[in-house]
Amino acid sequence: MANQSDATPLETAARAICERLAATGHRAVWAGGCVRDRLLGRPFHDIDIATSARPEQVVELFPRTRPVGRSFGVVLVQQGGHWFEVATFREDLEYRDGRRPVGVRYADEIADARRRDFTINGMFYDPLTDEVRDYVDGRADLAARLVRAIGDPRRRFAEDRLRMVRAVRFASTLEFDIEPTTAAAIRELAPAIVEVAAERLREELTRLWLEAIRPGEALRRLEALGLLAALLPEIAAMRGVPHAPPHHPEGDLFDHTARVLDLMERRTPVLAWSILLHDVGKPAVRDPDAPTSYRGHDTAGAEIAADILARLRFPRRLAAEIVACVRWHMRYRRIPQMRLARLRRWMADPAFDTGLELHRLDLAARGMECAACHRVEEVRRMLNAEAAVPAPLIRGDDLIALGVRPGRNVGRWLRRAMDRQLETPGITRAVLLDWLRQELDRTTADDDANH
């Protein structure tokens, strides 16, 4: 950061922490992803700081701190309205659970760099001297566009098995290759990925779909490295399952799913997972006598998706929206012929817009237009500011006042009134009451004629 006038508020605050530490005789540098992204000219939104100061010394030097991981040498420090993770230079002791060491030993910055995951994440930057400290050849791998484990990759992945998926995320986000020895270690150890906590896997996979330049290509990387078969065998089972060529010229079921993922623009966790899972039921319902017919795959897929999401411990609300998108994704084809009242009710569903975008992308992957999208846009223009499902203009008391006997008949007429309201945007309560009187009179007359 040679020119301080160009520094962001985040960088200025991080520099102030390093200055304070240096003024009291401690070494302090930026560490990890922020250094990588700075060298690549990419934006970054957090800065980790590594220092020779011990946690208790950090706490004494700064007025606002949170000792979130003091046993591992980590303290949160607030500066300039931002919170920074300030960690003492350390090396890890033995790993026993495939996630974290049993403890740490304070060390110098060289040892600290060599305990990290990948060379591109193992560099330090001194903001006071504008100098990059690289003890792991990270700059060479940045230039070569490689994700390489620091030291023995098998040891790095044994320490934290989630690093295998992180390697795919970094490669897919930066459009790098995974260095061959590192990739070979992932293939060898891929079955052990299931030992990682479900919540950690869910978050890492979600970040992969949201951050990868081409999430469909990220899916292919997972498959090629053996991780997909271990993590999501239901998705791996799509490979080789055919689609009818006239409707799916883009390849087999797996290729289609990857293609739809690559077309995703407005990325959200619900949309990403809905795309991934929307055809997961097809292998289960495949008919050997009609190998490209998948009747009922939407219902079967919803059940399989629910199982996968439960396995990954998804929050209930997110899981419910994703399952709804999978369950109803074939229904969107019927929107152009759907009654307005029924469509308006459906449009009020929280998952409707995500499901419509899934339908659009599903068609786009086949080179087809989205007729349902045009119909929904037409309805929304017609409705303007009116809610998709507005508050009902008619209540049960109104119907009883018109002569409807209390009981099930009231519910039936309420539904008819609401359908009429939805089918006639802008209808007033008075007009709706007149229509109900006429309908009730006609129904009474028909009943009298039949008797």
Which CATH number does the domain housing residue 349 bear?
Answer: 1.10.3210
In a domain, 170, yes or no: yes
- Please list, in sequence order, all residues whose beta carbon lies within 8 angstroms of the beta carbon of residue 359, skipping any fewer than 6 positions away: 329, 332, 333, 370, 372, 373
Rounded Cα gap, residues 153 and 336, in angstroms: 54
**C-beta of residue 376 within 8 angstroms of C-beta of residue 347:** yes
**Domains identified in the chain, total number:** 4
**C-beta of residue 394 within 8 angstroms of C-beta of residue 414:** yes
Enumerate the β-bridge partners of residue 131.
126
- Please list, in sequence order, all residues whose beta carbon lies within 8 angstroms of the beta carbon of residue 420, skipping any fewer than 6 positions away: 341, 427, 432, 435
| CATH code: domain of residue 58 | 3.30.460.10
Give the CA radius of gyration of the chain: 29
Query: Are both 20 and 105 inside the same structural domain?
Result: yes
**C-beta of residue 28 within 8 angstroms of C-beta of residue 50:** yes
pLDDT of the chain, 451 residues: tens digit per residue: 445 667 899 999 999 999 999 999 999 999 999 999 999 999 999 999 999 999 999 999 999 999 886 667 899 999 999 999 999 998 876 666 556 665 678 899 999 999 999 999 999 999 999 999 999 999 999 999 999 999 999 999 999 999 999 999 999 999 999 999 999 999 999 999 999 999 999 999 999 999 999 999 999 999 999 999 999 999 999 998 887 665 556 578 999 999 999 999 999 999 999 999 999 999 888 877 666 668 889 999 999 999 999 999 999 999 999 999 999 999 999 999 999 888 988 988 889 999 999 999 999 998 899 999 999 999 888 876 566 667 888 888 888 888 887 878 888 888 888 888 888 877 888 888 888 888 887 776 555 455 4
Q: What is the pLDDT of residue 277?
A: 98
In a domain, 327, yes or no: yes
55: tokens are 């946690």
In a domain, 238, yes or no: no
Q: Strand 82-88 vs strand 104-106: parallel, antiparallel, or unpaired?
A: unpaired
Question: Of the candidates 118, 144, 170, which is a domain's last residue?
Answer: 144
Q: What is the pLDDT of residue 249?
A: 61
In a domain, 247, yes or no: no
Q: Give the DSSP letter of residue 7.
A: -
Query: Are both 130 and 164 inside the same structural domain?
Result: no
- Please list, in sequence order, all residues whose beta carbon lies within 8 angstroms of the beta carbon of residue 215, skipping any fewer than 6 positions away: 172, 208, 209, 261, 262, 264, 272
In a domain, 120, yes or no: yes
Question: Of the candidates 389, 411, 435, which is a domain's last residue?
Answer: 389
∠ at Cα 367 (362, 368), nearest 5°?
A: 70
**Domain of residue 23, residue span:** 1-144
Query: Are both 350 and 411 inside the same structural domain?
Result: no
Q: What is the pLDDT of residue 5?
A: 60
In a domain, 243, yes or no: no
Cβ neighbourhood burial of 23 (10 Å; 0-12, 13-18, 19+): exposed
For 193-204, letters b (16+ CB in 10 Å) and e give: beebeeebbbeb
Query: Are both 114 and 218 inside the same structural domain?
Result: no
Rounded Cα gap, residues 106 and 136, in angstroms: 19
Alpha helices in 104-245 (DSSP H): 109-114, 138-144, 153-159, 163-174, 180-189, 198-211, 215-224, 227-231, 233-236
**C-beta of residue 421 within 8 angstroms of C-beta of residue 338:** no
Rounded Cα gap, residues 5 and 45, in angstroms: 18
- Please list, in sequence order, all residues whose beta carbon lies within 8 angstroms of the beta carbon of residue 224, skipping any fewer than 6 positions away: none
Query: Are both 283 and 383 inside the same structural domain?
Result: yes
Query: Are both 49 and 94 inside the same structural domain?
Result: yes
In a domain, 236, yes or no: no
Query: Are both 198 and 290 inside the same structural domain?
Result: no
Query: Are both 1 and 139 inside the same structural domain?
Result: yes
Question: Of the candidates 165, 196, 231, which is a domain's last residue?
Answer: 231
Query: Are both 121 and 138 inside the same structural domain?
Result: yes
Query: Are both 21 and 157 inside the same structural domain?
Result: no
Of residues 190, 189, 255, 199, the one with CA closest to residue 222: 190
Say how many C-beta atoms besides its own lie within 10 A of residue 150's C-beta. Answer: 22
| CATH code: domain of residue 171 | 1.10.110.30
Query: Are both 276 and 370 inside the same structural domain?
Result: yes
Cβ neighbourhood burial of 221 (10 Å; 0-12, 13-18, 19+): buried
Q: What's the predicted TM-score (pTM) here?
A: 0.82
In a domain, 250, yes or no: no
Query: Are both 135 and 212 inside the same structural domain?
Result: no
Q: What is the pLDDT of residue 299?
A: 94
Q: What's the one-letter identity of residue 232?
A: L
